[in-house]
């Protein structure tokens, strides 16, 4: 959530930054109008409340001074006091309603892109930062798409998954299931060694949690909701892990907090029909190892770079070619101020495809979720900065392995770092 004080004091600057996400998409004026009205009522209420308190003291003073408690002077003061209480009773709910309206509008506003975020309209204007592993590009000229080789090997079943659920689900069999399990364990082991503390959070999460990280209210159509409960299937472990600290004040000495978490993730993929309808790239259910950091604002950008390196390290260990791009203002996510995407090479498509998105939300999510920290010897509290990134999306990693490690005889070599987990060298 954006800071209302910053909007109030620098509306032109805030509007300029929002316009970088798309001119005309976001309008601050309704918030400014409601804020002015609410502040006018607040001033009026404060003045009336002060006069009401003054009358109460005055009545006591006069009675102690000998005035008749039932006399005209005291009666007039009591009448004025009653009128003030009536007016205050009318103003308080008005002010409460205005504050609720302002908060609802603030919840609809995305984060402000950082000044250093490239300005652009869409993904076509993202900026490539670097590439890695071009020496590992496969030489096999006849690589089958991962879903075809997976079905030929009997490790991926899409048609049977449709029987059980619907399209965009997969059933993993034998070495397919083992490969997924191996990837999860490998990713967790590497991130724990890098300093992250593993958590296994609930997969069913409440509305307040999704609101805290920015999925609600704007993107309700992207998530699966339980019909009879205030519970949703988690779209990414970022949501439950960040919200573990919702409405808490953390001692500054305990920062930074690093967590990694494996969870299944569930997304409707609303609006993506026709895109990646085959294979493991865009499923309704997929596994992911997520990285989450809660850090001191002074360390925010440094921590973002190290988070990116932690995610890159997985692909480097697997010897999978990839590139890193910085998302432009028109392509960054709702809660992000700055984002780097890692895209892995998918030979059958002759292109790089996203496998991790590493974002710094600065204080945006912390403000929504009420996550603060307190420094010893200092008054007041500050909001932490929250960062997240995939380390990595497991299904997409499997897709990249099935294609990049595909042999000319139709078998798939197991990456060397996975062989101790999978107990085999070839699928």
Point out the residues that are catalytic: 267, 282, 354, 357, 396
Q: Which of 339, 360, 200, 380 shows the shortest CA–CA distance to 295? A: 360
| Residue-by-residue DSSP string for 54-85 | HHHHHHHHHHHTT--TTSHHHHHHHHHHHHHH
Q: Which of 393, 343, 385 shows the shortest CA–CA distance to 361? A: 385
**Using an 8 Å Cβ cutoff, are 291 and 263 in contact?**
no
Torsion angle of alpha carbons 152, 156, 159, 160, nearest 10°?
120
Instruction: Quote the CA–CA distance of 229 and 226 in Å, as a whole number.
Output: 6
**Using an 8 Å Cβ cutoff, are 360 and 344 in contact?**
no
- In this structure, what are the phi and psi dihedrals at residue 286, rounded to the nearest 5 degrees? -150, 155
**Using an 8 Å Cβ cutoff, are 239 and 266 in contact?**
no
Tell whether omega for the bond before 392 is within 30 degrees of 0, i.e. cis: yes
**Using an 8 Å Cβ cutoff, are 149 and 346 in contact?**
no
């Amino acid at each position: 959530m954006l800071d209302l004080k910053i909007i109030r004091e620098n509306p032109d600057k805030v509007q300029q930054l929002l316009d970088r996400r798309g001119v005309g998409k976001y309008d601050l004026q309704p918030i400014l109008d409601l804020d002015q009205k609410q502040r006018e009522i607040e001033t009026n209420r404060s003045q009336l409340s002060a006069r009401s308190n003054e009358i109460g003291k005055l009545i006591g003073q006069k009675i102690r001074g000998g005035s008749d408690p039932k006399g005209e002077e005291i009666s007039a003061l009591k009448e004025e006091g009653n009128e003030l209480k009536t007016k205050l009773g009318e103003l308080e709910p008005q002010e409460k309603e205005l504050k609720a309206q302002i908060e609802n509008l603030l919840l609809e506003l995305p984060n402000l892109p950082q000044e250093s975020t490239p300005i652009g309209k869409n993904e076509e204007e993202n900026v490539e930062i670097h590439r890695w592993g071009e020496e590992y590009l496969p030489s096999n000229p006849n690589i089958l798409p991962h879903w075809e080789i997976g079905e030929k090997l009997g490790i991926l079943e899409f048609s049977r998954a449709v029987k059980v659920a619907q399209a965009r689900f997969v059933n993993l069999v034998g070495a397919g299931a083992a490969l997924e399990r191996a990837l999860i364990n490998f990713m967790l082991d590497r991130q724990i060694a890098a300093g992250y503390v593993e958590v296994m959070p609930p997969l069913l999460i409440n509305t307040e949690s999704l609101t805290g990280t920015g999925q609600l209210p704007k993107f309700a159509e992207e998530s699966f909701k339980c019909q009879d409960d205030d519970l949703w299937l988690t779209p990414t472990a970022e949501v439950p892990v960040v919200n573990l600290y919702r409405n808490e004040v953390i001692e500054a000495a305990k920062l930074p907090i690093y967590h990694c978490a494996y969870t299944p993730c569930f997304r409707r993929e609303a609006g993506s029909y026709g895109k990646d309808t085959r294979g493991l790239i865009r499923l309704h259910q997929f596994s992911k190892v997520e990285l989450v950091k809660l850090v001191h604002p002074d360390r925010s950008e440094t921590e973002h770079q190290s988070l990116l390196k932690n995610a890159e390290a997985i692909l480097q260990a697997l010897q999978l070619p990839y590139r890193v791009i910085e998302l432009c203002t028109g392509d960054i996510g709702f809660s992000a101020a700055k984002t780097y995407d890692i895209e892995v090479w998918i030979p059958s498509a002759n292109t790089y495809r996203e496998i991790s998105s590493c974002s710094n939300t600065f204080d945006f999510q912390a403000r929504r979720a009420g996550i603060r920290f307190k420094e010893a010897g200092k008054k007041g509290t500050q909001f932490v900065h929250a960062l997240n990134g995939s380390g990595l999306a497991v299904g997409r990693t499997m897709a990249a392995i099935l294609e990049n490690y595909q042999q000319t005889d139709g078998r798939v070599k197991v990456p060397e770092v996975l062989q101790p987990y999978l107990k085999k060298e070839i699928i």
